Amino acid sequence: MSTLVSGGKDPSSEPRRIYRHFFATLLLAALVCAVLVWGFIAAADPYGVSPIGTARPGFNSTKLKRLNIDRQLKPFEVWRYQPDTIFIGTSRVNQALDPAILDGTSFGRAYNAAIPASTLAENEASLAFFVRLAPGLKNVLMEAFFYNFTRDQAPAPAFTIGQFASDVLALQFSFQALRHAVDTVHYNRITDAVPAHVTTRGYWIPDSWAKPGDTFQEKPFISSIVAAEEQFPLQGIKPSAVATLDRIVALAKAHEVELTLLVLPAHAWDDYRLLSLGHWEKLEDYYRMLAGYAGVVSFAQPNEVTQEPARIGMRWWYDPVHPSLNAGRMALRAIRGDPVGTPSNFMVRLTPEALPALLAERRAAAERWAAENPDFVAAFEAEKARQRQ
């Protein structure tokens, strides 16, 4: 016979009540912890993407972790800022072009969406995604980097909304974001030195203590270039690269986006490299190919920028490959129609009519530079002979 009496309680219900209370308390505690963790990440804002948007000296003003996350960061910021103009390209664009130079012009609000080491195929994938994330996009300034055209272009994986959502979540709330938030607060509490990072407009700036040109070292440059040539000789213009550019042009046209192709400055060291290693004709093929497209702008003409002597405190270069912000800002001022203070041949629109004179000028300048820099030439030729032994 049951022991339950009228008005009594079922003894078996007590453990269930305790369990429900325990799990409710556990769930509430977990929720409170998650909110506190997210709140700390949002306040510390290690990547500069928090909706709170704080930047307090001594707490989080230096975003040291806003570096080397371009593939995750930049699609989010294109969606967040909805720019009128974006820049696409390699680390050369990433380090040289400051979008603020175009503020107040017909280009509207600009953002540097360049991804270091990107290929033409990756640029195509980026543009295809960016026009979805920012439907109002009007202009794209894309680097047409010579060396990208000498490599076969396998299709790059397409950006997806699922991956985009996962990346946004990781930037806002993840164990790594928590760890980077702690690192950010700790760093800001112990020093006000600013390391290399990506600004909120998408471009890279160097360590505050760096000296422009301190990586412009002749011997390492020559040895690395000659070794690379011995192992992987430079190829000619690849049909797959040209086909990729054609698709990029068609993509921009389909979305009514004005596409400008940029030939950024190349230093005299690199021009001598091509001349000495027998690749000058490949460079000319590249120019002939680009001359068949509309909207190509070249900044690679020989002048005080491309032939700046290597030294500590260089104005126009960070290293033999990367033009500095000074060079990039001058290029953007020229694009917006303000060429004051620039060399007379600094910006040239590449057309079939202008091509012969441009090619002749650049070849003559490379040969003249070689004649004026016999020590560099001797070191380069000696390294070639040494590595071919």
Task: Tell me the per-residue pLDDT of 149-182, one tens digit each, with 9 for 90 and over.
Answer: 999 998 888 889 999 999 999 998 888 999 999 9
Instruction: Report d(CA 348, CA 359) in Å as an integer.
Output: 12
Answer whether residue 328 shows pLDDT above 90: yes
H or E stretch at 197: strand 197-198
Count of alpha carbons within 13 Å of 44, Cβ hemisphere only? 26
pLDDT for residue 2: 47
The proportion of the chain whose per-residue pLDDT surpasses 90, expressed as a percent, equals 78
Strand partners, 262: 143, 297
Answer whether residue 9 shows pLDDT above 80: no
SS3 99: helix
A 10 A CB-CB count for 177 gives: 25
Q: Which residue from 319, 311, 305 is spatially nearest to 206, judged by alpha carbons?
A: 319
Chain centroid to CA 223: how far?
26
- pLDDT tier for residue 7 given thresholds of 50, 70 and 90: low
Answer whether residue 389 shows pLDDT above 50: yes
Answer whether residue 13 shows pLDDT above 70: no
pLDDT, tens digit, 9 for 90 and up, residues 113-123:
999 999 999 99
Instruction: Report d(CA 337, CA 327) in Å as an integer.
Output: 16
A 10 A CB-CB count for 149 gives: 23
**pTM for the model:** 0.90
Question: In the predicted model, what is the mean pLDDT of residues 355-368?
Answer: 96
Instruction: Report d(CA 141, CA 248) in Å as an integer.
Output: 12
Q: Is residue 127 part of a domain?
A: yes
Q: Which residue has the higher pLDDT, 17 or 246?
A: 246
Is residue 207 a contact partner of residue 196, using CB atoms and an 8 Å limit? Answer: yes
Q: Please give the biggest Cα pair distance in the chain.
A: 113
Q: Which residue has the higher pLDDT, 387 or 379?
A: 379
H or E stretch at 49: none
Q: Is residue 187 part of a domain?
A: no
**CA distances to 93, 145, 208, 290 from 262, in Å:** 9, 8, 28, 10
Answer whether residue 43 shows pLDDT above 50: yes
Instruction: Report d(CA 355, CA 361) in Å as an integer.
Output: 10
Helix axes 280-290, 355-372, angle to 10 degrees: 150
**CA distances to 12, 75, 149 from 7, in Å:** 15, 65, 87
- Which residue bears the tokens 């979805």? 132
pLDDT for residue 4: 47
pLDDT for residue 27: 77
Domain that holds residue 138: 83-161+199-388
Q: Is residue 40 part of a domain?
A: no
Answer whether residue 283 shows pLDDT above 50: yes
Question: In the predicted model, what is the mean pLDDT of residues 346-357?
Answer: 95
DSSP state of 323: B
pLDDT for residue 178: 92
Look at strands 139-143 and 197-198 and give their pairing: unpaired
Answer whether residue 111 shows pLDDT above 80: yes
- pLDDT tier for residue 249 given thresholds of 50, 70 and 90: very high
Answer whether residue 264 shows pLDDT above 70: yes
Q: Is residue 182 part of a domain?
A: no
Looking at the structure of the chain, the number of domains it has is 1
pLDDT for residue 204: 95
Question: In the predicted model, what is the mean pLDDT of residues 229-246?
Answer: 95
- pLDDT tier for residue 199 given thresholds of 50, 70 and 90: very high
Q: Is residue 166 part of a domain?
A: no
pLDDT for residue 20: 73
Question: In the predicted model, what is the mean pLDDT of residues 213-239?
Answer: 92
Q: Is residue 328 part of a domain?
A: yes
- pLDDT tier for residue 12 given thresholds of 50, 70 and 90: low
Q: Is residue 181 part of a domain?
A: no
Q: What's the whole-number average pLDDT of the chain?
A: 91
Answer whether residue 91 shows pLDDT above 70: yes
Question: In the predicted model, what is the mean pLDDT of residues 234-258?
Answer: 97
CATH number of the domain residue 93 falls in: 3.40.50.1110
Instruction: Report d(CA 35, CA 356) in Å as an integer.
Output: 64
Q: Is residue 335 part of a domain?
A: yes
